[in-house]
Amino acid sequence: MKRSSAQDGRGGRAQTAKQRRRRKLASEARSVDRRLKAAVVPNFSGPVLGRANVVYELAERSRGTTHGGMGMVARLVKKLGLAKEVDSSVHLLALHKPYYESDHVLNVAYNALCGGRTLDDIELRRADQVFLDGIGAASLPDPTTAGDFCRRFDEASVMDLQEAVNRARLHVWAAQPASFFSKTAVIDADATVVPTGAEAKQGIDIGYNGIWGYSALMVSFANTAEPLYLALHGANRPSHEGVVPLYDRAICLCRQAGFADILLRGDTDFSLTTEFDRWDDDGVRFVFGYNAWAGMVSRAGAVPDELYHELVARAEEEIKTAPRTKPVNVKATSSGPGATRCCAKRPRTWSASPTGRPSASGTTVSSRSGRTCRSSGAKTCCSASTGTSFTSPTTGR
């Protein structure tokens, strides 16, 4: 079908505007480059900084804001349909006067994006007319109303909100090239203690390190470092508590997006052997840390030396220029008290992959064991590794 002349006109004007912006930005970049290059000359007139003689005036017609990029964020939210997804999933208000659930959610999110640390900082946004015009809103909920909205959430509605955000996330992933989905979808899980100074927070507890707060569990998409699911527990709870349903939700999300190969990762706390068979039957690969029980250590020690290979933790970066001369290692040449303890070189690790079967799993898996050697001066000590990682049998590596 042929496009109308009106559509062609709008498209042509938009294209011309984009080209004009690109030319202006490119011209500004060239101007900055010329200025910086011209400034690098012998200077006989004294220090460079502190010569400014600026006069500030209050403009009568021009207005500005420190958060000009929020207009683009608002356009992105509209394009992805995020507000519609939130309103279709989260139902906490009986009457919209005038704000919907998505308005409250975006109000809190925009406050954080603009550097707000508490809900009280929303008042700064409400008093900024240029900011309000930029996001296309006549007003924003005040901090008290925002706090009341947050207290309406329960565990189910929090999950509904996360699922709404992830449905909008699928639109972002769908715009990626085919190479994006040909890679392995790596799903990570980890938890950390988040402290709080509040005394009336529901669910807080004291952690193993004496800190009052929450154990914040995050399941993330490692390919792009996107958080997919979050959960809060008391600080004294195990870090893996509640992770299995979040792993399963993340697997479904990645498959819905179009990923064929999915890999789960986690440390020793997330090596849940009761789930290995189910994940393996579902075609999901996994790499988890595993505690070095006596059987694991003896199995690692029984592996012949020729089966071990040095484990490269990180590939060396290619240096495009001439390498710099390394300075003298002062610690390594020190002979004072404690020098042996402080000057130990980075341990070298050798890896092998014997097989084994976890007690709660019927599947034989590959366990990557290791030996670690530490050097200090002329003294070298080698020992079996203190950890083992379990790998699903479908990995082949």
Q: Model confidence at 335, in pLDDT bands (50, 70, 90)?
A: low
User: Could you tell me if residue 395 is inside a domain?
Assistant: yes
User: Could you tell me if residue 234 is inside a domain?
Assistant: yes
Q: Does one domain contain both 137 and 84?
A: yes
């519609």: which residue's tokens?
84
Q: Does one domain contain both 144 and 76?
A: yes
Q: Does one domain contain both 305 and 382?
A: yes
Q: Does one domain contain both 293 and 363?
A: yes
- For residue 374, the one-letter residue type is R
User: Could you tell me if residue 354 is inside a domain?
Assistant: yes
Residue-averaged pLDDT of the chain: 83
User: Could you tell me if residue 248 is inside a domain?
Assistant: yes
Window from 4-8, 15-19, 118-122, 327-331 with minimum mean pLDDT: 4-8
Question: Among residues 249, 257, 243, 255, which one has the least CA distance to residue 189?
Answer: 243
- Determine the structural domain holding residue 386 and report its residue range: 289-313+343-397
User: Could you tell me if residue 335 is inside a domain?
Assistant: no
User: Could you tell me if residue 318 is inside a domain?
Assistant: no
* All residues at 6 or more sequence positions from 395 whose CB lies less than 8 Å from its CB, including other chains: 285, 287, 366
Token duo for residue 260: 């064929």
Q: Model confidence at 317, in pLDDT bands (50, 70, 90)?
A: low
Window from 22-26, 62-66, 133-137 with minimum mean pLDDT: 62-66
For 249-279, what is each residue's pLDDT tens digit? 999 999 999 999 999 999 999 999 899 999 9
Last residue of a domain, one of 270, 301, 322: 270
Q: Does one domain contain both 95 and 139?
A: yes
User: Could you tell me if residue 323 is inside a domain?
Assistant: no
CA 206 and chain centroid, separation: 26
If DSSP codes are grouped into helix, strand and coil, which group holds residue 25? Answer: helix
Q: How far apart are CA 374 and CA 333, in angstroms?
A: 17
Last residue of a domain, one of 270, 298, 325: 270
User: How many structural domains does the chain have?
Assistant: 3
Buried b (16+ CB within 10 A) or exposed e, 4-38: eeeeeeeeeeeeeeeeeeeeeeeeeeeeeeeeeee
Question: Among residues 231, 258, 243, which one has the least CA distance to residue 175?
Answer: 258
